[in-house]
């Protein structure tokens, strides 16, 4: 089970997370998000040694040229489409991508079939006129009554209180964001380390 820390906007926090060997780190390019970063930030971190951590660039209905400019600063990044992007648009980039699907009810899962080439489907919580960052979890019981062939990334309000329950659902990856912040947009290394410990403990228990 992989782990992604999303909404990174601090270089020192990024370096610390890379040292923890987190699988993915997410950078958000959506102006309405308190975690939004700009091209100046990306230029600065483009010289970082990401080691085994893969950067994920998160876009919400961005235009083609902007997306291509952003990903050019990284070696083999993943694009995360978190808006209303079509399959044709998502497939037009020569790189792996994830597509976010916002869940409100069982019918929401039908959207997944519209993106057969996505390397991952990120399940987030639906909120009207909001493309993410709600800090709330959707009804995880929906996952027990659906079967999926694509890699699922579980997102939405995951913190140290529900991380163990998230692990029990066995998603391919868990995405944490607001649940490891001390304030909106301010990542907390203590909380991140606690999440990592819960994940490791869960995996060790399964092996015994």
Quickly tell me which residue has 């659902």 as its tokens. Answer: 169
Q: How far is CA 60 from CA 31, 68, 158, in A?
A: 9, 14, 21
Q: How far is CA 36 from CA 31, 57, 99, in A?
A: 6, 11, 19
- Looking only at the bridges linking them, the beta strands covering 181-183 and 186-187 are antiparallel
Whether 90 is catalytic is no
Candidates 6, 57, 167, 173; catalytic one: 6
Euclidean distance between CA atoms 137 and 72, whole angstroms: 33
- Select from 145, 159, 152 the least CA-distant residue to 187: 159
Euclidean distance between CA atoms 65 and 76, whole angstroms: 17
Candidates 57, 124, 173, 175; catalytic one: 124
Active site residues: 6, 124
């Amino acid at each position: 089970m992989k782990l992604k820390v999303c909404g990174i906007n601090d270089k020192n926090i990024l370096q610390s997370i890379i040292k923890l060997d987190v699988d993915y780190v997410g950078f958000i390019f959506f102006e309405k998000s308190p975690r939004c970063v700009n091209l100046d930030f990306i230029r600065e971190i483009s010289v970082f040694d990401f080691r085994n951590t893969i950067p994920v660039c998160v876009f919400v209905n961005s235009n083609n040229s902007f997306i291509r400019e952003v990903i050019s600063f990284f070696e083999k990044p993943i694009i995360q489409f978190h808006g209303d992007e079509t399959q044709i648009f998502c497939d037009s980039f020569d790189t792996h991508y994830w597509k976010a699907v916002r869940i409100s009810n069982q019918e929401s899962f039908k959207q997944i079939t519209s993106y057969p080439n996505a390397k991952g489907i990120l399940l987030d919580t639906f909120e009207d006129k909001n493309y993410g960052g709600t800090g709330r979890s959707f009804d995880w019981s929906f996952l027990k009554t659906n079967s999926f062939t694509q890699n699922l990334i579980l997102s939405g309000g995951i913190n140290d209180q529900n991380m163990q329950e998230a692990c029990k659902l066995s998603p391919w990856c868990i995405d944490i964001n607001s649940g490891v912040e001390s304030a909106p947009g301010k990542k907390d290394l203590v909380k991140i380390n606690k999440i990592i410990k819960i994940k490791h403990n869960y995996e060790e228990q399964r092996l015994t």
